[in-house]
Structure 1
Amino acid sequence: MKIQIKNLFKRLKSCEQGATLVEYGIALAVAAAVGVGGFTALGGKVSTNVTAASAAFDAPTTN
């Protein structure tokens, strides 16, 4: 099993497609981290705004 994994890495190292795959994987990981960070940072603010909007719709109107 160890030899198979070692051979796989050797093939990927010498193959352009392997390098491209790794680059796309890294880019995807960075994008996911930025997305999670953004949702975490903005989560409370968005929740507050949605709650306020919901309360505005539920509030009785006076004519």
Structure 2
Amino acid sequence: MNTSIWLSVALVLVLEGLGPMFFPHAWRKMILAMTQLPDGLLRRFGGGLVVAGCVIYYMLSRHLNS
């Protein structure tokens, strides 16, 4: 697999870990609030994140390869 993909995964893990590490109470409240959201809204939010991630990856890979 491409090294940049592994670096991206590592960065996501670091950023995702900062929330519960420094703000455990707020993190728990946010997760509890998310469990109350309807499935359709969570799917749209997840789809938006996937599209944004793909666009950013495409733009960066195009910029780095030129």
- Give the TM-score normalised by the residue count of structure 1: 0.51
CA RMSD of aligned residues (A): 1.8
Number of residues paired by the alignment?
Answer: 41
Structure 1, residues 29-50: CA drift from partner, whole Å, max 9, x if none?
Answer: 11111110001101xxxxxxxx
Q: Percent identity?
A: 2
Higher relative contact order (CA 8 A, sep 6+): 2
Q: Which has the larger radius of gyration?
A: 1
Instruction: Assess, with a 3 A threshold, how the Cα gap between structure 1 residues 3 and 37 changes in structure 2: closer, same or farther.
Output: closer
1:25 Cα deviation from its structure 2 partner? 1.1
The answer as to 2:29 corresponding to 1:4 is yes
Which runs of no fewer than 5 residues in structure 2 stay unpaired? 1-25
Moved over 4 A (4+): none
Alignment match, 2:8? none
- Give the TM-score normalised by the residue count of structure 2: 0.49
